[in-house]
């Protein structure tokens, strides 16, 4: 495999990598979208004559992007998802032509996959015999055959990303009842859409914490009140005091980990802990692309993502600046025990089954195990 053509360092890949590194693109959905667009370009230009070459090309791009910004997990997720689709399309395309899929049943397989399926695999009637790997006469024929279906698959992923807010919000009315008091913080588009959808023909109150130091809560409060929702903007320090009157805490997420914990904007942990003290339910709204097959176990402070300290203490306080260390972490890690439910575009899950459904059902459908480490 010496002549595997590693993706010619695409300009688009490098541009995205530097944007990610310089944080000119932030947010899980924006990065996921950009990654997907870059991958589409890479695939359309790539030259490969078998599946392994293609997978290696995508992986090398994925590694490049993940290295550029390891804290934006949705980049890796998108790459994993595309790889999964590539394999799936490849399998449907080559089924019938290859005879390697002989059913062998062993104890380890039995443990892993359960009882053997009764139905015999019906060979697909559509036989695309045209797809031939490593064709020495025409090395590009494989790529020509596979590319159109891959483009379709990527379009599907793109559509999913584009409709994710509405799909998360589609059951909003089941979660927010009339005259409830909801507490939220930060400016999450998912939560914003969710709250606005629930507000159709229903009166309820939202308390928005300012969410220092970004003060993105102000933006959220403005947007909600413009939509006609009764909104209160409160300082972060009053979250605990107000919690006794709150019926439900609704949070957005940056990334959801396989154990059901999540990274969310700073302040989420305060809200979730205060909610626990009052037994107030904590609900998290997030698109499925935020689910990551990774575990974060050691949430040391230094492992967090840090923002610009001048948001906390600016240079106008010049005589203080050299006397104190100022840290401004972007995200809090919220432990799965503090979360009651995740509302995703693929149904509602308790944190414990993020693992069970998500890792085994959703993630297996979305990602392949071998791609967990890109």
Partner 1 sequence: MIDRPSMDTPRFDISAALQRILQDEQISPPLAAILALTELIENSDAGTMFELVKALNDGTQVLKTTTSNPISLNAGCELFTAFVTLFPHDSANFNDLKKELIRQGQQYAADALTYRRKIAQLALGFIKDGSVILTHSYSRVVMQTLLLAHQHKRISVFVTEARPRGLGIKTAEGLSAAGVPSTVILDSAVAYVMDKVDFVLVGSEAVVESGGLVNAVGSNQIAIIARAANKPFYALAESYKFHRLFPLSQYDLPSHNSKILSFPSLSRPEPSVSSSNATIKSANFSATETTHSGHARPDSDSPLRITQEQISQNNPDVDYTRPDLISLVFSDVGSLTPEGVSQYLVGMFAG
Q: How many CB atoms lie within 10 A of CB 335?
A: 17
If one asks whether residue 101 binds partner 1 (CB under 8 A), the answer comes out as no
Tell me whether strands 181-185 and 205-209 are parallel, antiparallel or unpaired: parallel
If one asks whether residue 115 binds partner 1 (CB under 8 A), the answer comes out as yes
**Interacting residue with partner 1 among 107, 123, 136, 322 (CB under 8 A):** 107
If one asks whether residue 114 binds partner 1 (CB under 8 A), the answer comes out as yes
C-beta of residue 56 within 8 angstroms of C-beta of residue 5: no
Q: How far apart are the first and last CA of the chain?
A: 19
**Cβ 260 to partner 1 shortest distance, Å:** 8
C-beta of residue 86 within 8 angstroms of C-beta of residue 34: no
Nearest to 8 by CA among 42, 34, 54: 42
Give whole-number Cα distances, 125 to 121, 144, 172, 231, in Å: 12, 22, 42, 58
Written as one string, the DSSP assignment of 270-296 is HHHHHHHHTT--EEEE--GGGB-S---
Half-sphere exposure of residue 11: CA atoms within 13 angstroms, side-chain side: 0
Task: Spell out, one character per residue from 256 to 295, where the chain touches partner 1: x when CB under 8 A holds, - when not.
Answer: ---x-----------------------------------x
**Cβ 70 to partner 1 shortest distance, Å:** 15
**Interacting residue with partner 1 among 110, 144, 320, 327 (CB under 8 A):** 110
**Interacting residue with partner 1 among 5, 360, 365, 370 (CB under 8 A):** 360
Three-class secondary structure of residue 232 per DSSP: strand
Per 3-state DSSP, the chain is made up of helix, strand and coil in percentages (nearest 5) of 50, 15, 35
**Cβ 106 to partner 1 shortest distance, Å:** 6
Q: Which is nearer to partner 1, 252 or 293 (CB)?
A: 293
Stretch that binds partner 1, among 39-47, 56-64, 132-140, 348-356 (CB under 8 A): 348-356
Query: Among positive and negative, which fits the CA dihedral 214, 215, 218, 224?
Result: positive
**Cβ 363 to partner 1 shortest distance, Å:** 11
**Cβ 33 to partner 1 shortest distance, Å:** 30
Q: Which is nearer to partner 1, 145 or 336 (CB)?
A: 336
288-347 positions binding partner 1, by CB under 8 A: 295, 297-298
If one asks whether residue 102 binds partner 1 (CB under 8 A), the answer comes out as no
If one asks whether residue 244 binds partner 1 (CB under 8 A), the answer comes out as no
Specify the residue for token string 């090398």.
60
Positions in the binding site for partner 1 (CB under 8 A): 103, 105-108, 110-116, 259, 295, 297-298, 352-353, 355-356, 359-360, 369
């Amino acid at each position: 495999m010496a002549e595997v053509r590693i993706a010619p360092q695409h300009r688009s890949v490098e541009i995205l990598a530097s944007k990610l590194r310089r944080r000119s693109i932030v947010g899980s959905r924006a990065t996921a979208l950009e990654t997907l667009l870059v991958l589409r370009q890479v695939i359309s230009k790539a030259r490969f004559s078998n599946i392994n070459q293609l997978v290696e090309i995508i992986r090398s791009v994925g590694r490049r992007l993940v290295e550029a910004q390891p804290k934006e997990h949705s980049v890796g997720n998108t790459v994993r998802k595309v790889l999964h689709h590539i394999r799936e399309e490849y399998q449907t395309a080559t089924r019938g032509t290859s005879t390697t899929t002989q059913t062998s049943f062993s104890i380890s397989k039995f443990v892993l996959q359960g009882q053997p399926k009764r139905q015999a695999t019906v060979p697909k009637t559509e036989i695309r015999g045209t797809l031939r790997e490593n064709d020495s006469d025409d090395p590009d024929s494989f790529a020509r055959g596979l590319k159109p279906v891959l483009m379709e698959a990527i379009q599907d992923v793109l559509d999913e990303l584009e409709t994710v807010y509405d799909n998360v919000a589609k059951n909003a009315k089941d979660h927010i009842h009339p005259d409830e008091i909801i507490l939220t913080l930060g400016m999450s588009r998912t939560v914003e859409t969710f709250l606005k959808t629930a507000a159709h023909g229903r009166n309820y109150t939202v308390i928005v914490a300012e969410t220092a130091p970004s003060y993105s809560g102000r933006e959220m409060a403005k947007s909600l009140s413009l939509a006609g929702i009764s909104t209160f903007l409160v300082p972060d320090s009053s979250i605990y005091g107000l919690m006794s009157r709150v019926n439900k805490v609704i949070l957005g997420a940056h990334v959801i980990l396989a154990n059901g914990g999540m990274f969310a904007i700073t302040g989420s942990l305060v809200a979730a802990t205060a909610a626990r003290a009052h037994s107030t339910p904590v609900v998290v709204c997030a698109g499925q692309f935020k689910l990551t097959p990774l575990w974060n176990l050691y949430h040391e402070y230094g492992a967090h993502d840090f923002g610009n300290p001048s948001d906390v203490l600016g240079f106008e306080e010049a005589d203080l600046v050299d006397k104190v260390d100022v840290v401004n972490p972007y995200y809090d890690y919220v432990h799965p025990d503090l979360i009651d439910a995740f509302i995703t575009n693929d149904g509602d899950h308790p944190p414990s089954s993020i693992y069970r459904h998500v890792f085994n059902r959703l993630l297996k459908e979305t990602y392949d195990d071998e791609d967990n480490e890109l």
